[in-house]
Amino acid sequence: GAGVSQSPSNKVTEKGKDVELRCDPISGHTALYWYRQRLGQGLEFLIYFQGNSAPDKSGLPSDRFSAERTGGSVSTLTIQRTQQEDSAVYLCASSFRGLAGNTIYFGEGSWLTVV
Amino acid sequence: EDQVTQSPEALRLQEGESSSLNCSYTVSGLRGLFWYRQDPGKGPEFLFTLYSAGEEKEKERLKATLTKKESFLHITAPKPEDSATYLCAVQMGSARQLTFGSGTQLTVLP
């Protein structure tokens, strides 16, 4: 597709359930990022993938959060045993080769509400 | 500690009233400073990347400038459709992720 595609666009889940959020980056982009944005706040870095290299997981807030990237393209962010504080928009982004200064393009986000 | 601070948090302008948004940073090894626009319920939309002090970039009514300590986003004769949250982010050292400020929420009144 032309842009970064994320699904679902909205998800309401019960506390304690697991959720999976999907990201399809721009074709040809090897770098993929996940960010979290709580209501009225800035973006928090979660994880970064570049090609076949080991991901940078330094932003993951707890071991309930994990992400994988299959075939160097689609990525899935998984949140286990969701808590109310996990409610946020989860934004995926991609860039060409992840080089310094390369433009990073964002998707529209997956809005997660934990009730 | 590396930090990105945006000011003001919120700004209300009359249509046609020019102003500037500020992004100050204390980082080591700046590789790029990025400006994004974010509309409610949407993902950030890329505006500019600045790489070195003295650099300037323009797009329509927006002009971004960069010094060694801060960046400004100048808005000339704004229109109501310029209303949005403007985000500043830096990429530093060997890191490939962006570190974001908390944004400036701009409202342009007709």
Task: Give CA–CA dist B77/B54, Å, rounded.
Answer: 23
Residue in A50, A98, A101 closest to B32 by CB: A101
Domain, as residue range, for A17: 5-107
Inform me whether the pLDDT recorded for B29 exceeds 90. Answer: no
Structure confidence by residue, pLDDT tens digits, B78-109: 999 999 999 999 988 777 889 999 999 999 99
Task: Determine the pLDDT at residue A1.
Answer: 52
Q: Which residues pair with B49 in a beta bridge?
A: B34
Q: Is residue A39 one of the residues assigned to a domain?
A: yes
Mutate to test the interface with B, among A10, A43, A103 (most CBs of B within 10 A): A43
Q: Is residue A114 one of the residues assigned to a domain?
A: no
| Domain at B3-93+100-109, CATH class | mainly beta
Task: Determine the pLDDT at residue B1.
Answer: 61
How does strand A10-13 pair with strand A110-114?
Answer: parallel
Q: Is residue A115 one of the residues assigned to a domain?
A: no
- Under an 8 A CB cutoff, do B101 and A98 touch? no
Q: Is residue A103 one of the residues assigned to a domain?
A: yes
Q: What is the CATH number of the domain that holds A35?
A: 2.60.40.10
Instruction: Work out how many domains chain A is built from and give that number.
Output: 1
Q: Nearest-5° angle of CA B82, CA B87, CA B93?
A: 145
Inform me whether the pLDDT recorded for B73 exceeds 90. Answer: yes
What are the residues of chain A with a beta carbon less than 8 Å away from any beta carbon of chain B? 4, 31, 33, 35, 41-45, 48, 50, 56, 59, 91, 98-101, 103-109
Q: Is residue A60 one of the residues assigned to a domain?
A: yes
Task: Give CA–CA dist A31/B51, Å, rounded.
Answer: 20
Task: Give CA–CA dist A78/A67, Å, rounded.
Answer: 6
Q: What is the dihedral of CA A9, A11, A16, A19, to 10 degrees?
A: -40
Structure confidence by residue, pLDDT tens digits, B7-26: 999 999 999 999 999 999 98
**Domain spans of chain B, in order of start:** 3-93+100-109
Give the distance between the most distant pair of CA atoms in chain A: 40
If you measure CA to CA, which chain A residue comes closest to B43? A108
What are the residues of chain B with a beta carbon less than 8 Å away from any beta carbon of chain A? 31-32, 34, 36, 42-46, 49, 51, 87, 89, 91, 95-103
Residue A17 makes CB contacts below 8 A (sequence gap 6+) with A81, A82
Mean of the per-residue pLDDT values for chain B?
A: 93
Element (H, E) at B46: strand B45-50
